Structure 1
C-alpha cells in the first residue's frame, strides 16, 4: 500500500501529547518576543555534559545557539528557544530547507527563522563560526571527532551521546534541556510526548504481539536496507507496542551504521507481520513492488505492507522529536492498524 499522509498540526495536538538562509534579528535566541531565561530567574550554574567525544562544560547561559543535528533544533524549539542557526533539511524541507513542524513552532514563539546550514557534506566550521555561537548542538548527528575538536574551538560543543544518529529522542531532549538550563521543561516535553504515544497505544491494542520491520530500497545497489535495533524509527515503532521481527537479529550493519542490507533474492526471509518502507519516489517504490520476489514476502501478500514516499513524513519518523511526533503519528497509527489487520 502506498500512503500519503494528512497532517494533524497545531498547539492542540502538542498539548495533547507528542533534514534551509534568512537575516537574523539583533537578539539571537528568542522565546516569544523576549530573551530566553534559564531556570532560576536568570541565574546560571555551570553544567558538564558527557557525550561520545568527551565532556563539555557550559559556564554561562547560552544565548546564541547553533544546532547541527537532525532534530536538535526541534528539541530546542520545544523548550522555547529559537536557534540562530540550524541544519538545513535538503531532503525533506521546503524550498529553503525548513521543516514544517519547526516553522510552526518558530511562528508560535514569535522568533526569526534561523540561518540555515548545509551539513550534507560535513559540518562547515567557518560558516558556523560566522554565526558567533556560544553553544553548538549535534546531539542527533554523526559529528566526527575532528569536527568536534574544530567546533569546540568556536564554542562549547555537544556531540551525539553514544552512536552516530542513534540518540534516543528522550535523551536528546533531556541533554539539550540540561545544556540550556531548562531541565524541567525538558522533562515535561518528554512526559507529554510519551503520554501522547501511550494514548495511541491504548487506542490500538491490536499492535500487541504484532511484529514489524522498517526499511528502504537502496537505490544504487537495489538491496533492501533494514534499520537495526536502536535506530530511532525502530524505537518509535516499538514504543507503539510493536515487536521487531525475528529476522532483524540476522541483519548485520557496518560499524556506526544504523541499517544493514539484504539482497532482494533473500526477501523470503522477511518474517514480519508489518513491513514499513520509505522510498525516495513513487517510481522507486513501483520498481520494488514489481519485483516477483518482493511480491512473495508474507507481509506483502497478507496486506501488511506500507510504503511511504512523503519525505516530510519520512523525516518526522526518522528523527522523531516532540514536534514531529504529534505532527505525523496519528496518521501512522491508522496505517499500522490497517497493516496489522491485513488491510493495508
Structure 2
C-alpha cells in the first residue's frame, strides 16, 4: 500500500473511532488471526486490462492496478475471491450458522485448506464495520457487492481503498451479480462467468433428482416470534433467499409479490388477520426449529395457511451451517445444495 493511502486509512480509522465515541454503532476490535498475502489463481483466461471501472449504487469505483491485497466486508463477499483462488487478507467473521464459533463456515474452512492458506484476519462486525481493522490489513481493494453499506460506510472505506458496493440496493444483490462484480474488480471477470455457469449446472442437476418440486409456490417466512404471531413477516422477491427459489424451480406466490409493496425492500409484513392473503402458498421456508412449526400449527389464524395445514414447512436451524443454505453464496451453494433441495422436495411432496 502506498504511504498516502496508509495515512488516509488511519485518518478514516480515527474518524470511525471518534464517531463511535459520539454514539456510533461501529466499535472497532482487534483482529486475532494472521493475514496471508493474496494468492494469484491458476488460470488460462486472457489477462484483464486495468484500470477497471465499476459503477454501483453508491458511486463509481476505479481500480488502477490488479489488486494484490484483497479485503472484504459484510456477508459472503470473501467467498468470491476464495472460489477463484485468491485468499483475502481480511474478511468479515461469520455471525450466523457458525456451529463451532471460530468465525468461519465449513465451506470456507475447506477452501482455505484446499488453497493451503491460513485464516485471514476476521473483522468483527457485530456492531458494524470495524474500519480500523480493515485499514490495518492494508488492502488494495475492498469487496462489498453483497452488503448493507450506508453511504457513510462507503465513503469511510473509500479512504482506505477502492470499494465495490452493491449495484442496486442493500442486501438484494443476487449471487450471480455478487460473483461478477467482485470478480471484475479482481481482474477475473472470465473466471467469474465460468463459476456462475458451473453453479447453475449444479443446481439443474440437483433439482432434476426430484420430480414434483418444480412449480411449487414457496414463501420464506421470517422473524417468527412464537410469543407474538399477530404479524406475518416474509422475504420479498428482491431478497436473495426468495430469489433462490426461482433457481431451484420453485415459484413466487402471487400473494407475496402483491404484498411486497416497497419495490426496494427485501422484507415485508402483514397482519395475521389478513393471512388468507397467502392462500396460494404451498410451501413455507423459515428459520428455527420444531417450536416454530408447532407454534404455526397451533395458532388459530396462521394454521389456516395451506402450507401449514399440509405440514409443508422447511425449518432451517440458525445455529447450524445448513441454516445458511437458503441464502446462496459462491462456496455454500455446492456444500449445501443437495441437502437443501431434498428438504424442499420432501416438504413439497406433502402438498402434491
Q: TM-score range by the shorter chain?
A: 0.7 to 0.9
For residues 217 and 310 of structure 1, the distance between their equivalents in structure 2, rounded to whole angstroms, comes to 12
Structure 1 gap ranges (5+): 1-19
What is the Cα deviation at residue 127 of structure 1?
A: 1.9
SS of structure 1 residue aligned to 2:326: helix
Structure 1 match to 2:6: none
**What is the CA RMSD across the aligned residues, in angstroms?**
2.5
- Of structures 1 and 2, the one scoring higher in RCO (CA 8 A, sep 6+) is 1
Instruction: Verify: 1:248 aligned to 2:253, yes or no.
Output: no
Alignment check: 8 A CA contact 1:21 1:96 kept: no
CA contact 1:317–1:325 (8 Å) conserved in 2: no
Secondary structure in structure 1 of the residue aligned to 2:212: helix
Aligned to 1:269: 277
| SS of equivalent residue, structure 2 residue 274 | helix
In structure 2, the residue matched to 1:295 is: 303
Q: Is the 8 A contact 1:211 1:244 kept in 2?
A: yes
From 139, 147, 157, give the equivalent of 1:133.
139
Q: Matched residue of 2:153: which SS?
A: helix
After superposition, what is the alpha-carbon deviation per residue over 1:39-84, rounded to whole angstroms, capped at 9, x for unaligned? 7787752111111111111111111111113111111110111111
Q: Which one has the largest radius of gyration?
A: 2
Q: Distance in 2 between matches of 1:201 and 1:102?
A: 24
Give 1:246 deviation, angstroms: 1.6
Q: Mapping of 1:65-104 within 5 angstroms?
A: 65-93=70-98, 94-104=100-110
Which deviates more from structure 2 when the two are superposed, residues 284-293 or residues 294-303?
A: 284-293
CA shift, 1:24, in A, is: 2.0
* Mapping of residues 1-344 of structure 1, within 5 Å: 21-24=31-34, 27-30=36-39, 35-36=40-41, 45-93=50-98, 94-219=100-225, 222=229, 223-252=231-260, 256-270=264-278, 271-279=280-288, 282-311=290-319, 312-318=321-327, 320-342=328-350
Deviation at 1:258, TM superposition (A): 1.0
Contact 1:22 1:114 in 2 (8 A): no
Shift of 1:135: 0.7
Provide, for residues 95-117 of structure 1, a one-character-per-residue CA deviation record: whole Å limited to 9, x for no partner.
12211111111111111101111
* Structure 1 residues 294 and 69, CA gap change in structure 2 (3 angstroms): same
**CA offset digits 1:188-214 (Å, max 9, x no partner):** 110110000111232234123321111
Tell me if structure 1 keeps the 8 A contact 2:238–2:265: no
Aligned residues: 318
Normalising by the residue count of structure 1, what TM-score does the alignment of the two structures yield?
A: 0.84
Superposed CA offset, 1:18-56 (max 9, x none): xx944325x5213xxxx5578778775211111111111
Aligned counterparts of 1:132 and 1:308: Cα–Cα separation in 2: 37
**CA separation of 1:254/1:88 partners in 2, compared to 1, >3 Å: closer, same or farther?**
farther
Q: Secondary structure at the match of 1:72?
A: coil
Shift of 1:221: 6.0
CA contact (8 A) 2:145 2:164 kept: yes
Contact 1:148–1:159 at 8 Å: present in 2 too? yes
Q: Give unmatched runs, 5+ long, in structure 2.
A: 1-29
- SS of the residue 2:237 aligns to: coil
